[in-house]
């Protein structure tokens, strides 16, 4: 039996393109190539792409040198910068002087991506530990350092993504929230997690170093180094979960926002990581002690070995699944708690905000099954669920009130709900309850309105009214939705107002908006974002997912 996350999330990869090791999907992992094409069309450039306007060169004095940036059309300055350096498979270190990414001389240039299989070699570099800082003129000109700082961590299954993905221009977000916003990059895949020596979590340490860098320079841009909030989507949110589980990262930020974190995936175990590492080392054919061989490997060879590992991981280690098999490891040193239901939960204190969208799994199911699935067809509903969950979970799921399918009824809707619930929604609600139970404050939200992300453009169900697919919350948060409807514009204003409040106080309630009740152990009070009221509990009843039916991190523990 293979974990449901193996087949289900593997389908997700090919449908929504969250990660494509072979680079063969027509829909790219973060919509980047599609977005890059649109970036050359002036009418949409301002919506999807980081601002290319450099009508005025601007400088800011920082403790480590002069920052060079450009002014955007929103009256926000944009400063690309290299925040850390790292040799291959070595821990990164924070830079001591200000420099533009990749040796650039023009501050309007964008940083190269971290190496990833779907990109051309000319698009990436191992020297990729860069960020783009967005700071409103009105904040910089105050001469005070009181504004909150938001750090965006991109998704992409830890295999793809960048600080320059579609919709990630933070100019409007910075202005609307009155904050300094940094969009960061970190090492991906094998280069970030699979050092042949066995050391891991290099990418987690990269992100920690980005926060240390911001603590040094935030005041120069009007930001308060003591008011840093980390925000991430998908694997970017999973990265934040790793930061929350790392005691040495605690002092680097005050609060966290986790969007669409597939919390069914716990951290990788040490034993599982050793299995994956052994396989990876076999693919690169270099002894872990042979530094000349390791340094002589081409990036393309490393990505090829990473690709082999990706497809074999779930068979080697069922806990790995196929969505994020290369991911943060509970190594007992940097990350020493699971932050899930398999071990005693750590005492916590930071405020967190957890959100999901109402059709997280739609790209997976409808993007791969272009035919109806019924109770007596082939494959049948029972076969699809059984092949992924096995016994006893299959019978517990399909016999429950939540996922029953009538004879001759198309079961894809039930399977989509199942995937959304267990991979994202209900596992997130379980996390919120645990967080509150152990001393923290949590707020939970569910998007019922979004803006179709480029990666979802080829999945028709994602453009249907009322359907919000994985990633469709990104352009709402950033305010980069192209040609927004009145409802989308209102939601953008609401979300950004709530984020502004959360960045400052750890509470997302803002004047003139409905009360967002904080989660309790009995009721997470999931606020409908784009709707009204709270989401019904449904299958997220703690007696069902995580209890009667185990999450993968429990089942394979």
HSE at residue 485, side-chain half, CA atoms within 13 A, is 8
The rounded distance, in Å, linking the Cα atoms of 427 and 265 is 9
The architecture in CATH of the region 4-372+411-555 reads 3-Layer(aba) Sandwich (3.40)
* Residue 26, phi then psi, degrees to nearest 5: -75, -20
The position carrying tokens 């400063």 is: 79
Buried b (16+ CB within 10 A) or exposed e, 46-60: bbbbbbbebeeebeb
The radius of gyration of the chain from alpha carbons, rounded to an integer in Å, stands at: 22
How would you class 198 by CB atoms within 10 Å of its CB: exposed for 0-12, middle for 13-18, buried for 19 or more? middle
pLDDT reported for residue 10:
46
Angle at the Cα of 32 from the Cα atoms of 30 and 36, rounded to 5 degrees: 160
State the pTM of this model: 0.91
CA 472 remoteness from chain centre: 12
The rounded distance, in Å, linking the Cα atoms of 179 and 191 is 32
Annotated active-site residue 285? The verdict is no
Peptide bond into 9 cis (omega under 30): no
Q: Which residues are within 8 A (CB) of 532 and not within 5 positions of it... i.e. 6 or more apart?
A: 514
The rounded distance, in Å, linking the Cα atoms of 69 and 387 is 53
Peptide bond into 345 cis (omega under 30): no
pLDDT reported for residue 16:
36
Domain map (residue ranges) of the chain: 4-372+411-555
Q: How many CB atoms lie within 10 A of CB 371?
A: 9
pLDDT reported for residue 491:
98
Beta bridge partners of 528: 446
How would you class 458 by CB atoms within 10 Å of its CB: exposed for 0-12, middle for 13-18, buried for 19 or more? middle
Q: How many CB atoms lie within 10 A of CB 19?
A: 33
Catalytic choice (14, 71, 199, 234): 234
The position carrying tokens 């919509």 is: 31
pLDDT averages per 10-residue partition of the chain, 557 residues: 45 39 32 42 43 60 96 90 98 98 94 96 97 96 89 98 97 97 98 97 98 97 97 98 98 98 96 98 95 97 98 95 93 95 93 98 89 93 89 94 94 96 98 98 98 93 95 98 97 98 98 98 98 98 96 92
Beta bridge partners of 285: none
């Amino acid at each position: 039996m293979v974990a449901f996350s193996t087949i289900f999330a593997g389908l997700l990869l090919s449908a929504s393109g969250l990660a494509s090791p072979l680079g063969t999907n027509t829909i790219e992992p973060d919509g980047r190539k599609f977005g890059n094409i649109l970036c050359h069309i002036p009418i949409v450039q301002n919506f999807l792409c980081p601002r290319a306007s450099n009508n005025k060169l601007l400088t800011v004095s920082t403790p480590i040198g002069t920052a060079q940036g450009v002014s955007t059309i929103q009256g926000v300055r944009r400063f690309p910068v290299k925040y850390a350096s790292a040799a291959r498979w070595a821990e990164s270190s924070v830079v001591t002087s200000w420099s533009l990414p990749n040796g650039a001389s023009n501050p309007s240039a964008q940083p190269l991506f971290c190496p990833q299989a779907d990109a051309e070699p000319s698009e990436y570099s191992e020297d990729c530990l860069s960020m783009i800082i967005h700071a409103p003129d009105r904040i910089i000109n105050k001469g005070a350092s009181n504004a909150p700082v938001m750090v965006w961590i991109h998704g992409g299954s830890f295999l793809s993504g960048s600080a320059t993905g579609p919709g990630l221009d933070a100019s409007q977000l910075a202005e609307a929230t009155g904050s300094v916003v940094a969009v960061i990059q970190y090492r991906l895949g094998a280069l970030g997690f699979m050092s042949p020596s066995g050391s891991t979590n290099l990418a987690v340490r990269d992100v920690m170093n980005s926060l240390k860098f911001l603590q040094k320079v935030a005041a120069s841009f009007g930001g308060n180094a003591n008011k840093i909030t980390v925000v991430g989507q998908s694997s970017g949110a999973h990265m934040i979960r790793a930061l929350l589980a790392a005691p040495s990262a605690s002092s680097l930020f005050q609060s966290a926002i986790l969007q669409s974190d597939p919390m069914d995936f716990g951290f990788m175990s040490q034993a599982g990581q050793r299995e994956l590492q052994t396989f990876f080392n076999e693919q690169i054919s270099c002894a872990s002690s042979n530094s000349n061989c390791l340094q002589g490997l081409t990036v393309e060879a490393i990505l090829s070995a990473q690709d082999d590992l990706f497809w074999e991981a779930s068979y080697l280690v069922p806990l790995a699944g196929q969505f994020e098999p290369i991911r943060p490891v509970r190594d007992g040193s940097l990350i020493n708690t699971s932050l899930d239901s398999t071990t005693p939960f750590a005492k916590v204190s930071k405020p967190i905000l957890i959100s999901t969208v109402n059709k997280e799994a739609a790209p997976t199911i409808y993007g791969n099954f272009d035919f109806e699935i019924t109770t007596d067809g082939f494959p049948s509903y029972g076969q699809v669920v059984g092949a992924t969950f096995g016994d006893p979970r299959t019978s517990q799921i399909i016999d429950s009130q939540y996922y029953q399918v009538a004879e001759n009824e198309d079961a894809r809707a039930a399977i989509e709900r199942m995937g959304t619930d267990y991979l994202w929604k209900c596992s997130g609600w379980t996390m919120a309850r645990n967080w509150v139970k152990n001393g923290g404050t949590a707020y939970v939200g569910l998007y019922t309105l979004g803006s179709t992300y480029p990666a979802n453009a080829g999945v028709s169900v994602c453009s249907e009214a009322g359907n919000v697919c994985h990633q469709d919350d990104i352009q709402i948060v950033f305010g980069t939705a192209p040609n927004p409807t009145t409802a989308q514009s209102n939601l953008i204003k609401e979300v950004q107002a709530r984020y502004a409040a959360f960045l400052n106080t750890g509470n997302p309630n803002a004047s003139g908006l409905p009360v967002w009740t904080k989660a309790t152990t009995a009721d997470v009070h999931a606020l409908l974002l784009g709707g009204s009221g709270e989401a019904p509990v449904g299958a997220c009843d703690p007696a069902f997912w995580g209890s009667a039916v185990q999450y993968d991190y429990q089942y394979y523990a």
